[in-house]
Amino acid sequence: MQPVPPCPPRGGRAVTGPRSPARAGAPPPPSTRQQRPTEAAAPNQSAHQPSRRALLLAAASLLAAASPVPPRAAAHVETGRLVGSAGAGSSGRGPTPTLRPPPPRPAGAPSVAAAVAAIRARTADAHAAAAAGDWAAAEAAYASAIAAGPDLAIADLARISRALVLRQLGDARGARLALEDVEAGLRGRAEVHAALAALRWEARLPGSEEQWALATEFDRRFGDPGWVERERGWPPAMLGALRAFLELK
């Protein structure tokens, strides 16, 4: 009998036998797949291009350098109208603090320098009247000083002194309301908080303890009525209210 030939596989090719093993050291057959370039071979473009933050900072610096100096810069320092965030000198980040110009003066009003000079002169007259015991004249002089430049920060000092004199004249409610109005813009000034603590305690109103906590946080010397009398020149009625608050506290 003749041997039966093997059946041909699909596709018509005959199987001739097992495949021969690959020779040792022979290179692998070339792959038909397209190789992608490795990341190491790709050029590092980010190292040669500035970051988005660097571009923004450079643009901000150019804009700041091109901006004109605010008008009446000397007057801003005098009136204390310094605004802005922490500058580069303190944290190294953020814009440099800018000086906001004061509100425009009404037509025919004196200049800022003239208004500051008038406030200082009338405040000195008020101090002299208070030292002489003429409290009514002192209150009128303080009111005149405020009217000379009501939009200037230096006028707030005259507002504090006038409020203390109002208590000496018997207007405790007017003194308290005037100090509360000043506190909105001078929060953190120990003298305002100490006076409000005494006046609120005297009127049996809440909030005296909170005001006193703020006062002593910024300046503990207001707990000594003798120092307040010598250094701050409070009127006798305000000193009495402060002593009563400290004794009953």
Residues of the chain with pLDDT > 90: what percent?
Answer: 53
Residue 66 domain flag: no
Which pLDDT value is given to residue 248?
83
* Mean pLDDT score, 111-127: 96
Which pLDDT value is given to residue 137?
98
Residue reference for tokens 């000092």: 157
Please list, in sequence order, all residues whose beta carbon lies within 8 angstroms of the beta carbon of residue 146, skipping any fewer than 6 positions away: 119, 155, 158, 159, 162
Residue 32 domain flag: no
Residue 89 domain flag: no
Other beta carbons less than 10 A from residue 225's beta carbon = 17
Residue 85 domain flag: no
Among 127, 197, 184, 134, CA closest to 158: 127
Strands 82-83, 98-99: pairing kind: antiparallel
Residues belonging to the chain: 249
Which pLDDT value is given to residue 83?
30
Among 162, 171, 82, 87, CA closest to 129: 162
Q: Which residue has the higher pLDDT, 68 or 184?
A: 184
Strands (DSSP E) contained in the chain are 82-83, 98-99
By the 10 Å C-beta count (0-12 exposed, 13-18 middle, 19+ buried), 191 is classed as buried
3-state secondary structure of 83: strand
Q: Which residue has the higher pLDDT, 44 or 106?
A: 106
The tokens of 28 are what?
Answer: 């692998």
Among 165, 215, 156, 162, CA closest to 186: 156
Residue 190 domain flag: yes
CATH of residue 205: 1.25.40.10
* Mean pLDDT score, 87-94: 40
pLDDT higher than threshold 50 for residue 97: no
* Most confident residue range from 60-64, 101-105, 152-156: 152-156
pLDDT in tens, 156-199: 999 999 999 999 999 999 999 999 999 988 889 999 999 999 99
Residue 61 domain flag: no
Residue 174 domain flag: yes
Residue reference for tokens 């409070």: 234
Q: Are 173 and 205 in contact (CB under 8 A)?
A: no
| pTM, rounded to two decimals | 0.58
How many domains would you assign to the chain? Answer: 1
Q: Are 99 and 83 in contact (CB under 8 A)?
A: yes
Residue 59 domain flag: no
By the 10 Å C-beta count (0-12 exposed, 13-18 middle, 19+ buried), 89 is classed as exposed
pLDDT higher than threshold 80 for residue 221: yes
Give the whole-angstrom CA distance, residue 2 versus residue 67: 107
Q: Which domain holds residue 212?
A: 112-248
